[in-house]
Amino acid sequence: MSDTYLITGAGSGFSKEIALRLAEQGHDVIAGVEIIAQVNTLRAEAHERGVELRVENLMSPTKATVAKHCPGTSTSY
């Protein structure tokens, strides 16, 4: 059983590399980015490395994203 990690700031730099390396090791990784353009860029890099990585824009989460990753959390905002 692998651990699940939420890595914030994963759109660039150290956090990006940590997210990718944890995914390479078989962990379940949710990579949080601040800029919507970073979502596709990071997904593409994960694909190139042959790893599964969930990439989410954490700056403006949708109700569906909140419900998916935080079951039981109120989405009446």
pLDDT confidence tier of residue 17, bands split at 50, 70 and 90: very high
In a domain, 11, yes or no: yes
pLDDT tens digits, 32-42: 998 888 999 99
Helix (H) or strand (E) holding 38: helix 36-49
The residue type at 54: R
Domain annotation covers residue 69: no
User: Does 34 reside within a domain?
Assistant: yes
> Is residue 21 predicted with pLDDT exceeding 90?
yes
pTM above 0.85, yes or no: no
Domain boundaries, position 47: 4-61
As for how many domains the chain has, the answer is 1
- 28-74 pLDDT, tens digit per residue, is 999 999 888 899 999 999 999 999 999 998 876 667 767 776 777 66
Nearest one of 57, 34, 42 to 66, comparing CA atoms: 57
In sequence order, which residues have a C-beta less than 8 Å from that of residue 20 and are 6 or more positions away? 45, 46, 49, 51, 53
For residue 11, the domain's CATH number is 3.40.50.720
